[in-house]
Amino acid sequence: MVFRKLPGVSASGMGLRLSQKFVFLLFLSGLVTLCFGALFFLPDSVRLKRIFLSKTETQPVTVGSGSENDAREHLKRAGKEPEHPRGVTSAKGETSTKLKSLIRKPPVSHEATEERLAGDRAQEDLTLSRSRTQSASERVTSPDRGAGSDTFSYKKYTRCLLKPPLGRDGGKPSDPKTEERRVKVKEMMKFAWDNYKLYAWGKNELRPLTRNGHIGNMFGGLRGASIIDSLDTLYIMGLMEEYNDAKEWVQTSLDLNSNGEASLFEVNIRYVGGLLSAYYLTGEELFRSKAMELGEKLLPAFNTPTGIPRGVINLGSSGTSWSWGWASAGSSILAEFGTLHLEFVHLTELSNNPIYTEKVMNIRKLLNKIEKPHGLYPNFLSPVSGNWVQHHVSIGGLGDSFYEYLIKSYLMSDKTDDDAKKMYYGALEAIEANLVQKSTGGLTYMAEWRGGILDHKMGHLACFSGGMIGIGADDGAPDKRQHYLDLAAEITHTCHESYTRSATKLGPEAFRFDAGAEATATRLSDRYYILRPEVIESYMYMWRLTHDPKYRDWGWEAVEALEEHCRVESGFSGIRDVYTMTVSHDNMQQSFFLSETLKYLYLLFSDDDLLPLEDWVFNTEAHPLPIIRKSCLQDEATQDKTVSN
């Protein structure tokens, strides 16, 4: 359309001269520039930016916070071959068997959609976590920040213990024979440690035959597993020079900024548990800040539709996680996601951040909601659907420490966690009804359950259950206390028999009760011993509960067998066949040998006031954690506040 000129209007527009129009446009452009500059560059303009930026232009969240995009990219990669985590068939660090490659589903299914929703929720959780903690190293700077602080007070905690952690005289027994045995165990620890320091310092474990270090791939690039696992053992044994060397390494060389793929379970029980225990025993702020920093790195493993964590996590900035390649249908393992509660509750205590407790309580809620076949907890659960994947039940590998953490969560809560108590005794009742068996020779054992069919096999890992049932005997039905103590004693006796019936007097990885076998391994693949602690663990608990001298005698039998068959020139090694005196060593000094086996032996030959059970629970790596007496801590806080005012 052609517009005609209006009468009385100049060509320069609306009666303005050319120079006036130029000034006006210059002013207008300056005003626009000023407004948009303020919008995009001044602080606190994020909300205003969202008005002008389209949804397609907004930046995605990072994978460490639960991003769906990087997680999907990670799922496309070919998997690596991690070693067996401790809760599985080879368990506790065995390195001889490699797993199949991890196979991850492409992100185009319904599960991927569920992952996206979970990632959004997880991003909110982790953002909340980081805003509350600020960062582990910034939140805390001293063991006690004062009565008015909302963080955990080490001084208040120590005043809530009923007894000194190390007893009146370091737990030294009055009986000379017992003291002589205890000194021998201490010498074994020093020998194992000295050789680790000489030949494998900073590596995860010692190879004593070849005199070099082993790194492995369970810990995602983390180093020094034997150092972290040994901190509390060295401290309670009074090996202070060795303890100080370990502490210095943690301060100068423990790098938590690894970018590897780690077992959530193993990192939690060994590293987080070891650091927490070292802090609670010594008050050294270094251990507290490291534990909190590492704990935060584990949170992305919970970024699933159900909140059930996956077994493998990248500890680097990606924070991606996935299930073990051998696990059925991408499932999570009962013994792994069920063995987080003790450590995560203490991370909440130390950080005043509820997210850690919320994560493990969410696991409880899901388990309470779903149906249990015959009241039993199968070993495989889908972190996507929240349903059981296989109906395989075991109190040994794949299931073991889930049950242990139920009763210990109850005890650690100062017997206030009624939900844990109910779950534990309900599970124990189902175990007795379906799994506990009596052999023709009169031995009590725990079989495995495969969809209603019993496999009359008991693993060495299941031998912890004697001690577990013993420490829970007082808190079940009043009329069942003696029943539980008897059951605990019978199972411990059976596990002792698995030792005495071998040529080396050390127990096999698994033993059977069928085809005429009684507490012996009938398969070549079950005959090895890798310095495991579970039988000795039950001896220690049963000694504390009954003071029957046979448990100390049985422990000494184990010491003699370890010295004769497992001690080599440069450390201790597992053996491949407990039924032959011609010993073949596996060339591995497991870190749990220093953390658990030798610690439980030392406690067995010490007075009960060394780490008394009234004050301490032991995580599944034998790292002692204090009972949380909320009422006492609150009273202490009130008193301190009154004094400060």
Residues acting as catalytic residues: 509
DSSP classification of residue 92 = T
Q: How far apart are CA 153 and CA 167, in angstroms?
A: 22
Q: How far apart are CA 610 and CA 622, in angstroms?
A: 14
Residue 511's φ and ψ, nearest 5 degrees, are: -135, 155
What does the H/E/C string look like for 278-311? HHHHHCCHHHHHHHHHHHHHHHHHHCCCCCCCCC
- CA-angle at 310, arms to 308 and 315, nearest 5°: 125
SS3 333: strand
What b/e sequence results for 438-454 when a residue is b if at least 16 CB atoms lie within 10 Å of its CB, and e otherwise?
ebeeebbbbbbbeeeee
For the chain, give the longest Cα–Cα distance. Answer: 122
Q: Strand pairing partners for 212? A: 207
Q: How far apart are CA 486 and CA 476, in angstroms?
A: 14
Find, among 292, 278, 434, 301, the residue nearest to 352 by Cα: 292
Q: Are 536 and 600 in contact (CB under 8 A)?
A: yes
- DSSP H helical segments within 472-597, as ranges? 481-500, 534-546, 550-561, 591-592
Beta-carbon contacts of residue 476 (< 8 Å; ≥ 6 apart): 425, 428, 484
SS3 30: helix
The CA-atom distances, in angstroms, between 573 and each of 12, 192, 209, 379, 563 are 97, 10, 8, 30, 10
Q: How far apart are CA 101 and CA 220, in angstroms?
A: 16
What does the H/E/C string look like for 530-559? CCCCHHHHHHHHHHHHHCCCHHHHHHHHHH
User: Cα dihedral sign for 530, 533, 538, 542?
Assistant: positive
